[in-house]
Amino acid sequence: MKNIQEKIEKLKAELLEYSSKYYSENISVISDIEFDTKLKELEKLEEEFPEFKQMDSPTHTVGGIASNKFKKVAHKYPMKSLSNTYSISEVVQFNQRVSKSIKKFNLAYILELKLDGLSIALHYEEGKLVQALTRGDGEIGEDVTDNIREIASIPQKLSQNFTGEIRGEIVLPISEFKRINENRAKMGEVEFANPRNAASGTLRQHDSKVVKERQLDGYFYFLQSPENYYISTHLESIAYIEKLGLKTTGYFAKCTTLQELENTINKYEKLSKKLNFETDGLVIKLNECGLYEQLGTTAKSPRWAIAYKFPAQKETTRLLAVTFQVGRTGVITPVAELEEVLLSGSRVKRASLHNFSEIKRKDIRIGDRVVVEKAAEIIPQVVSSIVGSRSGDELKIVRPVHCPSCNSKLVEKGMALICMNRQCFEKVKQQITYFASRSALNIEGLGEKIVEVLLTHKIVTTLSELYDLESKKSQLMELDGFGKKRVNSLLENIEKSKKISVSKFIYSLGISFVGSVTADILEDSFHTVEAIRSKSVEELLAVNGIGVQTAQSIFDYFRDEHCQIELEELLSKGFQFTEKTYTEVGDSFFYGKKILITGSFEEFKRDDLKEIIKSLGAQNVASISKNTDILLVGNEPGSKLEKAQNYGIMIMTESEFKLKLTEMRK
């Protein structure tokens, strides 16, 4: 291993040079993605080796939040963001929450476009522009007034003697983005990934002339403290903003019924594709501003507005190769290596292929043109291949015979390929990393990189050996980057991890199908590790929330000879089990809900879905009634969908369901 400190210094120097070239000289030495990758690498190293982190690190100073170039100014009112929804049913819930909270019904909402740019707060005094602040971290922004003055559509002087704050978004028109990138390509410079990045790079220019050249634009959508101007509705605010001489998108639709809202959402979604600026969704705001204070805000966002994000964007690209990853349970996952493509605002080079049955079902071949999809927070995935555009040279994806990490022969279990070697480097690395991760035993300072070092030097070869590190202290201190301070803190954190709840301990073992919800259910039902490990499949199945697959997996784990030895070893290290804190299951979105499944699903088998539903503490029901909470719809849902709509039951699609699961795991 390279000397960690040296590596950190090198990354720091590189990043500082790139960002200084980028921000002050407008030269992109590397692509945005490469820059981000290096920045993330540095962040990770600094997290693992906090003693090497210094205030001058680019992780403090670049990356969009707080560059040192502009004066930092505290916002008079924090700039919050918006919480997201992805479906009409979530919008319905939002309306219900608002109505319940203010005890008013038949409310009017304004639907508008959500611009994908940079938020800006303009301060005017007696009609004159005095300050323009970026969002920054929401509390403190950057003073970019000089650059904002170069934007032609933002008046320095308003038509009236206005004193106050107006917020909006700075965007780069798509036509401008294309023009700039064409020029950059001609000059051999790295192109901007998307208009948003280009706008951000431009606004952070030292040289205001560059801003002028680049034709940035500003659209405004929020007047701070409208009551100061005798304004009581959002629509009036917009009219006032326009009257002052600032630009708005011009698309603000008042909706008084859910049907109207749904129709306008569809209309605006179509419209958004025809505009010369990027949008990433819509915003729904309560029209009556007088109610905003009563509704208040959460730490992150106001309760009187919500964003409606557009569904996942799909793109086509070429599948260049398939690589194979080894997971902690030894399962081999195929990963698509793609020709880079711009997807939902970011460049994508790798995507999940899930498993071999998916590859077979979708008939994906190397060299194919493939459709890739990425919903807002989800990992990109290959949806399908375009068979019609094959040349005949495409290659079938061959299942590997040997493990890419340890080269041992892989074993087929159903459609999965598994590395059975207990000593497989990658597998053990993933197991220990998972065991120490934040949602498991939370051993600070024991990230993937450190685990790799410990395994490479054979200082640790199994989970339980982590707890023998005290006796290998001198060996540890000889390693590069392992100073006395760092070793002591690591040992302390490992020791601390022995005080843990039964559910966290069970979760940390990494048993297949046992996530945090199931681990909680196990602790609630059986209380001790001893009791959990002694249960039969039948006893496990009798627990509400544990399905066949999960029960079998738990049972098999505790019967496996090797796992038994490992567990005994671990338990001999003196764990002190504490009571779990009763939050997760009860807090889960699905907890206690009655869910009905209908139609056919792309990714989930029905039985698996039922198990997931159970494991979330929800109930899977067989027929629809007014008491049903959620209808989970697949393809061709049939008459149940209509019934659910009539009953006003929440309707959730497969992708919405997946998204919720992902959000819950965070």
Nearer to ligand IVH, 222 or 507 (CB): 222
Shortest gap between Cβ of 299 and ligand IVH (angstroms)? 13
Exposure letters 297-307 (e unless 16+ CB within 10 A, then b): eeeeebbbbbb
Give the nearest distance from C-beta 192 to ligand IVH in angstroms: 19
Q: How far is CA 384 from each of CA 44, 183, 387, 390, 619, rounded to the nearest angstrom?
A: 34, 34, 9, 13, 33
H-assigned helices in 470-547: 473-477, 484-496, 502-508, 516-526, 529-534, 537-541
At 611, list the tokens: 């198990």
The widest CA-to-CA distance across the chain, in whole angstroms, is 80
Q: DSSP label at 397?
A: P
Q: Which two tokens stand for residue 588?
A: 């889960």
User: In 270-287, which positions are buried (b, 16+ CB within 10 angstroms) versus exposed (e)?
Assistant: eebeeeebbbbbbbbbbb
Residue 656 corresponds to which tokens in the numbers above?
Answer: 């919405």
Nearer to ligand IVH, 144 or 609 (CB): 144
Return d(Cα 653, Cα 375) in angstroms, integer. Answer: 13
Q: Using only C-alpha atoms, what is the Rg of the chain?
A: 28
Concatenated DSSP letters of 30-92:
S-HHHHHHHHHHHHHHHHH-GGG--TT-HHHH-SSS--TTS-EEE-SS------EE-SHHHHH
* Residue 418 backbone dihedrals phi, psi, to 5 degrees: -130, 140
**Helices 561-571, 548-559: inter-axial angle, 10-degree rounding:** 70
Minimum CB separation of residue 283 from ligand IVH in Å reads: 4
Min separation Cβ 164 and ligand IVH, Å: 15
* DSSP β-ladder status, 84-85 and 305-309: parallel
Q: Applying CB under 6 A, which residues contact ligand IVH?
A: 80-82, 112, 114-115, 119, 135, 169, 221-222, 283, 302, 305, 307
Q: Which is nearer to ligand IVH, 82 or 91 (CB)?
A: 82
Nearest to ligand IVH of 177, 222 (CB atom): 222
State the minimum distance, in angstroms, from the CB of residue 235 to ligand IVH.
13
Q: Exposure of 371 by Cβ count < 10 A (0-12 exposed, 13-18 middle, 19+ buried)?
A: middle
Closest CB to ligand IVH among 221 and 557? 221
Closest distance between ligand IVH and the C-beta of residue 429, in Å?
37
Question: Minimal distance in Å, beta carbon 586 to ligand IVH?
Answer: 29
User: What is the spatial distance between Cα 59 and Cα 40, in angstroms, rounded to a whole number?
Assistant: 8
SS3 389: helix
217-223: strand order across its sheet: 128-134, 118-125, 164-171, 217-223
Q: Which is nearer to ligand IVH, 135 or 204 (CB)?
A: 135
Q: Whole-number minimum distance, CB 135 to ligand IVH, in Å?
A: 6
CB of 458 to ligand IVH, least distance (A): 48
Q: Distance (Å, rounded) from C-alpha 460 to C-alpha 449?
A: 14
Q: Which is nearer to ligand IVH, 23 or 222 (CB)?
A: 222
Shortest Cβ 14–ligand IVH spacing (Å): 31
Which structure tokens are listed for 534? Answer: 């002694």
Q: How many helices, marked H, and strands, marked E, lie in the chain?
A: 26, 26
CA distance 111 to 481: 54
- Contact between 280 and 345 under an 8 Å Cβ cutoff? The reply is yes
76 is catalytic: no
81 vs 439, which CB is nearer to ligand IVH? Answer: 81
**Cβ nearer to ligand IVH, comparing 626 with 666:** 666
**What letter represents residue 502's amino acid?**
V
User: What number of CA atoms fall less than 13 Å from residue 459's CA on the CB side?
Assistant: 21
Question: Is 114 or 449 the residue whose CB approaches ligand IVH more closely?
Answer: 114
- Which residue, 73 or 82, is less far from ligand IVH as judged by CB? 82
Q: Which residue is nearest to ligand IVH (CB)?
A: 119
CB of residue 381 to ligand IVH, shortest distance in Å: 24
Would you state the torsion angle of the CA atoms of residues 354, 360, 362, 368, taken in this order, to the nearest 10 degrees? 90
**Catalytically annotated residue among 7, 114, 285, 309:** 114
Which residues participate in catalysis according to the annotation? 114
